[in-house]
Amino acid sequence: MSQITGFFSELKTSFDNLSQSIQSFLNTIEAIRSFLKILFSIIPLDLFLV
């Protein structure tokens, strides 16, 4: 029984780590998007399209 409990405990830990990784990945993407928005508001997009 303790093996099953240990297995689920490890599974939960792995899942928590995964969700933390996904969350930080999404935060990074959001930061990059914000940065690009600011960048494009300063620099006209036309410069990149030419």
The answer to the question of residue 47 being in a domain is no
The answer to the question of residue 49 being in a domain is no
| The predicted structure's pLDDT at residue 44 | 73
The answer to the question of residue 50 being in a domain is no
Task: Round to the nearest angstrom and report the end-to-end CA distance of the chain.
Answer: 67
| The predicted structure's pLDDT at residue 42 | 83
The model's pLDDT over 16-28, given as tens digits with 9 standing for 90+, comes to 999 999 999 999 9
What value does the mean pLDDT take over residues 6-21? 96
Q: Domain residues for 30?
A: 2-42
The answer to the question of residue 36 being in a domain is yes
Burial 6-45 (b: 16+ CB within 10 A, else e): eeeeeeeeeeeeeeeeeeeeeeeeeeeeeeeeeeeeeeee
Lowest average pLDDT, out of 6-10, 13-17, 43-47, goes to 43-47
Residue 30 above 70 pLDDT? yes
Considering its fold, how many domains does the chain have in total?
1
